[in-house]
Amino acid sequence: MDYLTQGEAFPGLVSFISGRHSVFEVYPWAYPVLPIAVLLLLVSLVTYVTSSLRFRRALSVDDSDRFPRVMPLVPYWFPGLYHGLALLINPTDFLYGIIKKYGWERPLQVKAGPVNCTLTANPSHIQEIFKSRFLSAKSVTRISAKNVLEIPPDVLFFYDADDSGFAAEPRKGSQTAQHNRILYHQTHSAQKFLAAPFLGPLAERYLKFFQQNIERLDIGQAWEEYPDLYVFLQIHVAGANIEAMMGSKILEINPGLMEHFWLAKRNAPQYFRGWPRWIIPKAFRERDRVVEAIKRWHSYAFKHGSVDGTGPQDPDWEPIFGSRYAKARLQYMLKMKPLNDDIRAREDWGLIFGANGNTAPSAFWYLFEALKDPHLATRLSAEVAPCISPDGKINIDQLAAQPLPESAYMEVLRLRVSILVSRMVDFGDVKLSGYMIRRGELVFMPTDGVHYSEEAWAQAGRPSKRKSLKEFEPERFLVATEPDGTGTSVKCCTEGLNGLWIPFGGGERMCPGRHLAKLEILLTYAYLFSKYDLELGNVEPNCVQCDPEFAPFGALPPNRKVPFRIRRKA
């Protein structure tokens, strides 16, 4: 557009460009604004230059023989704010960019206002952090409670007051009563009821309900077209998971729960960033609908069932309250006075969020990679086949131990999960390879920083095979069983990868649902590919990538619809 000819639309601009008047004559408001803008620009420029000089000086000094060593502060533009804006807008690109630019070997410091944060992608540092008893995930728990669950401020104090830690034995000096140890009860109930001997029955129920969901579609031997594989799995994987964990009544009473859940889940980045209700009202309304649905289920369940019964003689599952795990959660919450019916419903919204938010996307990528590469699908199915009896029953333990399916599963999580694993120095200063991290400070460990680090994987003795770490390599976690590497026998192995493969975090706060998620993903593949033929529809597979908008908040969904077709095997 020739702006000089648009005199009627932009008279002031034309007058300024033509040179007839100065900018201050055309735009009087610019007179006081421009000097301020120039001053801010100069301050930012001087700040960046001086902080860069200090940073490079800290990098160049060999202080390995002193304690504590000086942790270099990454250059920044805004005094007082430091890196806070970048951490709020796009933490994944910002932190991963720092690691790519300055290296992964030594920890670096970033700041969000007055809060000091240590950034590390060194596997040995990550292992030290996971082992330390002076760090906790309490800060992350609080952010989730405040922003994702929308726990009101007058109840958040109850979470904040728990200083007893996550272990069975309260921390020395803690004044928190045993029944109010919410962080311990959350962790302990999940670690107990999502592991053996309760894990197997829970996985079997998931498979049962997933099979029922697919059978209701009445897919025959003629091809059936579906517009999106991801939506297909969202509905049926999450539906089976919720029913296995929380019973059948919650879905019967709330037929629209799945739709509202996924609409709410789509707004996870906005929730985590703490956007207020008036900015994203639709996102809040969808979350409100999910919470109200859970409250209806709780009201029905308490009237028609019993929340008691988590002992060895009690059933693993019943339709009203669901699994022992769902009952155990409600049992400890009912003893905590601040947790009223609304808060309990929000806690169970958090359970649904955590149990399904990563499983369905990961199942999608597992199936997508198999559909994208028919040779891989053939190899996977060949290892799955011995796990299925002639009557169609799947041996879950045998399936979980098959090398290639397990390696492909681990590769999906390495490549398709983006999490900013965080810890707070909560109980005392921490020494980290000669550096000192003070109490109250944060530690950031982005999964992208270690999952894609070619040099770190090579130093661990696990260099890339045929494909780089930015590409999907289903055999990446396979190693030969013979010491000399000869022969064809292989096993799936994570030896040497401590601190390098961390999609579930680590330490005492490692995701307790990881075993169930693995079984659900493998069972989803085993059932669908053994009973049905599946093919991708009209989509270019190489154009299907992760949607970066959802980083670093878990498993990433695809960036587009993936049509497919399905038919029952002859």
Dihedral angle, C-alpha 479, 481, 485, 487, nearest 10 °: -110
DSSP 316-358: SEETTTEEHHHHHHHHHHHT-TT--HHHHHHHHHHHHHHHHTT
Q: Are residues 496 and 361 in the same domain?
A: yes
Q: Are residues 275 and 408 in the same domain?
A: yes
What is the pLDDT, as a whole number, of residue 249?
Answer: 98
On whether the CB atoms of residues 104 and 121 are closer than 8 A, the answer is yes
Residue where one domain finishes, among candidates 102, 125, 148: 125
Residue 14 lies in a domain: no
Q: Which two tokens stand for residue 473?
A: 């390599």
User: Does residue 380 surpass a pLDDT of 60?
Assistant: yes
Residue 337 lies in a domain: no
Amino acid at 39: L
Q: Which two tokens stand for residue 460?
A: 């661990």
Residue 116 lies in a domain: yes
What is the pLDDT, as a whole number, of residue 1?
Answer: 40
Rounded to an integer, what distance in angstroms lies between the CA atom of residue 334 and that of residue 324?
15
Rounded to an integer, what distance in angstroms lies between the CA atom of residue 140 and that of residue 505?
12
* Percentage above 70 pLDDT, the chain: 93
Residue 323 lies in a domain: no
State the total domains in the chain.
2
Q: Are residues 109 and 255 in the same domain?
A: no
Residue where one domain finishes, among candidates 80, 103, 125: 125
Residue 335 lies in a domain: no
What is the pLDDT, as a whole number, of residue 509?
Answer: 82
Q: What is the reported pTM? A: 0.91
User: Does residue 126 surpass a pLDDT of 90?
Assistant: yes
Q: Are residues 233 and 100 in the same domain?
A: no
Rounded to an integer, what distance in angstroms lies between the CA atom of residue 23 and that of residue 5?
19
What is the pLDDT, as a whole number, of residue 567?
Answer: 97
Residue 433 lies in a domain: yes
Q: How confident is the model at residue 27 (pLDDT cuts 50, 70, 90)?
A: low
Q: Are residues 515 and 381 in the same domain?
A: yes
Q: Are residues 525 and 413 in the same domain?
A: yes
Cβ count within 10 A of residue 291? 20
* Helix orientation angle between 374-384 and 359-372, rounded to the nearest 10 degrees: 110
On whether the CB atoms of residues 437 and 118 are closer than 8 A, the answer is yes
Whose tokens are 């669950």? That residue is 149
Residue 2 lies in a domain: no
pLDDT digits (tens, 9 = 90+) for 450-478: 999 999 999 999 988 789 999 999 999 99
Q: Which of 566, 539, 472, 504 is nearest to 236 (CA)?
A: 566
- Phi and psi torsions of 567, nearest 5°: -150, 155
Residue 42 lies in a domain: yes
Check residues 541 and 508 and name the one with the higher pLDDT.
541
pLDDT digits (tens, 9 = 90+) for 495-532: 889 999 999 999 888 999 999 999 999 999 999 999 99
Q: Are residues 236 and 103 in the same domain?
A: no
Rounded to an integer, what distance in angstroms lies between the CA atom of residue 477 and that of residue 479?
7
Rounded to an integer, what distance in angstroms lies between the CA atom of residue 521 and that of residue 233?
11
Residue 330 sits at the vertex; the CA angle it makes with 210 and 167, to the nearest 5 degrees, is 100
E runs forming strands in 128-210 = 135-136
What is the pLDDT, as a whole number, of residue 405?
Answer: 98
Residue where one domain finishes, among candidates 125, 142, 169: 125
User: Does residue 205 surpass a pLDDT of 50?
Assistant: yes
Most confident of 17-31, 157-171, 533-547: 533-547
User: Does residue 557 surpass a pLDDT of 90?
Assistant: yes
What is the pLDDT, as a whole number, of residue 535?
Answer: 97
Q: Which two tokens stand for residue 291?
A: 């919470």
Q: Are residues 432 and 516 in the same domain?
A: yes
Q: Are residues 116 and 253 in the same domain?
A: no
Q: Which two tokens stand for residue 185?
A: 């009860």
Check residues 30 and 85 and name the one with the higher pLDDT.
85
User: What domain range is 301 assigned to?
Assistant: 195-307+353-438+461-568
Cβ count within 10 A of residue 221? 10
Rounded to an integer, what distance in angstroms lies between the CA atom of residue 70 and that of residue 58?
7
Q: Are residues 272 and 375 in the same domain?
A: yes
Q: Are residues 222 and 302 in the same domain?
A: yes
Q: What is the domain-level CATH number for residue 521?
A: 1.10.630.10
Q: Are residues 120 and 213 in the same domain?
A: no
Q: State mean pLDDT over 99-104.
A: 94
